[in-house]
Structure 1
Amino acid sequence: MRKTYFILMFIGTLLLNACGSENQKENDNASSSVELYFGFKPPGLEAKPLELNNMSQKGWELGGVNAPNMKEFYLTSTLETPLRPIVVSFRKENRAWKKYEFYDTGGDVLYSKDKYIERTESGWSAIKSLGAPFDTIPIMRLTASSKGTLVFDEATRDGNGILRYSRLINGKREAPKPFDATINTGKWTAHPFIAPDESYIIWDSEREGGYGDSDMYISFRQSDGSWGAAINFGDKINTDGEDGGGYVTPDGKYLSYCPRCSPPYDRMWVDAEIIEKLRPKIEK
C-alpha cells in the first residue's frame, strides 16, 4: 500500500539532490549535524518559512501514463513532495482537458473534492465520482482517514459553510453529516484535515476570541468517540490575518499551513510535536 509513496519519496530525494541549489548547499554547510528532511532543514517547535525555491517553480513531474481508454493521463508531481505528494490527472471532457489533483494520504484511494481514484496493479483507476449528494456540495477540500472517513468543507459567499463527515460502515458510505457546534461555530469554517487514525481534526475558522480573521483550530477525539473543544493553535501559529489550510505530512512529522493566506500564499511548517503540546489541555 505504501510502496508507491516510498518510491515517490526516493525519486523526490534524488531530484532534490540533483538540483544542487545554493539554498541546499547553505543548509548542508550550516547544519552538517542536522539530518535534512528531503533536502530541507527541518523546523523545531517554532514555525519557519517553507522555502520551496530550491525546487523548480513548476514542480518536477515524474513519469506519466495514459489510462486504457486514452481519455485520462496521470503523472506524479513533486511540487510539494514529500510534504504533500499529489497525483495529477488530466481528463478529456467536452473536447478539452481538465486537470484534477489528488492528494496522497497514504492509502489506496486519493481524493479530489467529489472525485477519487484508486490504486491498481498497473497504476491508477479511472476518475470516479462519489456521486450524490457529494457532487452537489461545492467542496474546497476533502480529506480522508485511513479508515475511509471523509471530512470536507463547503465553499460559500457568505462564510456560512460547515464541515461534514461521512464514514464507511460495513463497506457502504453513509450520507454526509454535519459536525456539531464544537467544530461548526463561527464563519468561514473550512480546509479540514483529519488525522489518519482519526485522533484529531484541524481546520480554520473565524471565531470569537481569535487573533484576527480566520485562525487554525484543532479538536481531539475523546474516549467516548465525541470531539473535544476547539483549541486555537495560539499566536505562534495564528496572526491577525487569515490563517489556515493546515495539513500534516503523510509521515506525521510536520504541520504545514498558510499564514495570512494572501498572495503569494507562502507556507510555513513546524514540528508536529506542537499538536501533542496542545493535546493535554483537553485531557486533564
Structure 2
Amino acid sequence: MINLKQIGTATFLSLTFLVTTFAQENQELTQILNNLQVELVQPGTISTNGFEFGTSISPDSKELFFVKGISGFRRTVLVYSTWQDGYWSKPKIAPFSGQYRDGNPYHAKDGKGLYFTSSRPTSNPELGATNLWFVARNDQGWSEPELVKGAVNDKHEIVYPTVQADKTIHFVSWSRPGSKGGDIFVSKYENGTYTSPELVDELNTPASDADPEISPDGNYLYLTSQREGGLGHYDLYIFKKQKDGKWGKGINLGPKINSRNMDSDPILSPDGQTLYFSSDKLGEIAAGQDKFTEYDTLVESLDQIHNGLMNIYKVDLSSLLSYLDRS
C-alpha cells in the first residue's frame, strides 16, 4: 500500500533540500560578483577625461580599437593603440576613419580585418543612414572599407554588431520590424551572403536590450539592458547557453560592474576571461558634491577622468565563469 504521509514527507524534504541548495548557490554567486576587481584601462592614455567607449581586442591581443568622440555620439572616430613593452601606446586615428561618424569596431576572429558601423555615404538608395562595413588588413596596412554584403544591411539601422568565427552576426536595432524598442537580432552567413536578421526571442524584453557579445566557446553571451531589476540606466548581464541551444536567464553582473549610470559595450578578450566594457560612472567628487561653491572645485570635478563621460574598464571574470561552468 502507498503511504501518502511518507510521500508528503519525502516531497517536503526534497523541496527543503532544493531551497537550501539554491540559497547556498545564490550566496556563492553574490560573493563572487561582490569580489570582482574592476579597473580603468590605462588611465590617461586609453581612459581619459574625454569620451571613450566601444572597444575591440585583436585575436593576438596586441591591438586595441575603440571609439573617441563627443558626448551624445554626434562625432565618433575610430582610434587604435598597440601593446608595447607592457603598455598600450598613445592612440592614433585609424587611417580609414576621421571623416564620418564611425563606431562599433570589431576584429574579425581570423585577424584579417575589422568590422565597424558608419554613416559614410553609399551608392545604394535602399540603405539606411548607418551600415555595417568591413576593412581588410593587408601587408601594407588596411584596404578601403567595403559594405558587408547581404540582408544584414538594409534601410534599418544596425548598431553594435559582433561577429563570431563562423561569421554569424548579432546586433541591436531600434527600428527593425519586431523590435520593441531596442532588441537583439541575428543574421547568419550562408552561401557567401547574410540572411535576413531574426529576433533572438529569449534575450529580448519590453525594455531596451543591446550590445550582444558571445564568448569564444559559444557558451556565454553578454549584453546591456534596461530590463527590470537593474541597478541603473543600463546594466550588464551574462547568459549561459542551455542544452536546447537557447540562452538561459540573464544574471546581472552586480554592483562592482554596474552602477546607477550607463554600463554598456561588453567585449571579451580573445581567451574569453576578461570583460572590457564602457561606463560613465561618476567619481567621488562629482557624485558626492551636493553643491559647488568654489570654481576651482567645479573645474577639478569636470576635468577628472570620472567626470560622467564614458570610459573603458576591464574585469577578470574567471571566477564567475568557473562557477557558472559547474552550476
TM-score of the pair, normalised by structure 2 = 0.56
Equivalent residue number for residue 226 of structure 2: 206
- Indicate how the Cα distance of structure 1 residues 159 and 236 shifts in structure 2: closer, same or farther if over 3 A, else same: farther
1:168 match: 189
Summarize the Cα distance change of 1:251–1:133 in structure 2 as closer, same or farther, 3 Å threshold. closer
* Paired residue secondary structure (1:153): strand
Task: State how far apart, in whole Å, the 2-side matches of 1:86 and 1:210 are.
Answer: 36
Counterpart AA for 1:193: E
* Number of the residue aligned with 2:147: 129
Q: Distance in 2 between matches of 1:144 and 1:87?
A: 23
Conserved? CA contact 1:244–1:259, under 8 Å: yes
Please name the residue that 1:215 is paired with: 235
1:159 & 1:215 partners in 2: Cα distance? Answer: 18
**How many pairs align?**
218
Deviation string for 1:179-226 (max 9, x for gaps)? Answer: 11x211142211222223322221101111222222111112223322
2:207 to 177, 187, 195: 187
- Is the aligned partner of 1:272 residue 2:290? no
* Contact 1:142–1:192 (8 Å) recurs in 2: yes
Q: Aligned to 2:159, what secondary structure does the other structure show?
A: coil
Residue 178 of structure 1: how far off its partner (Å): 0.9
TM (normalized to structure 1)?
A: 0.63
Match of 2:137 in 1: 119
Contact 2:259 2:281 (C-alpha < 8 Å) held by counterparts: no
Structure 1 match to 2:59: none
Q: Assess, with a 3 A threshold, how the Cα gap between structure 1 residues 148 and 129 changes in structure 2: closer, same or farther.
A: same
**Corresponding residue for 2:198?**
177
Unmatched 5+ stretches in structure 2: 1-34, 53-62, 64-77, 118-131, 283-307
Q: Given the superposition, is the C-alpha separation of residues 78 and 201 from structure 1 closer, same or farther in structure 2, using an over 3 Å criterion?
A: same
Higher relative contact order (CA 8 A, sep 6+): 2
Match of 2:40 in 1: 49
RMSD: 3.7
C-alpha distance in structure 2 between counterparts of 1:256 and 1:55, whole Å? 12
Pairing 1:134-173 to 2, within 5 Å after superposition = 134-155=153-174, 160-173=181-194
Give the Cα separation in 2 of the matches to 1:56 and 1:277: 29
Q: What's the offset of the Cα at 1:45?
A: 3.1
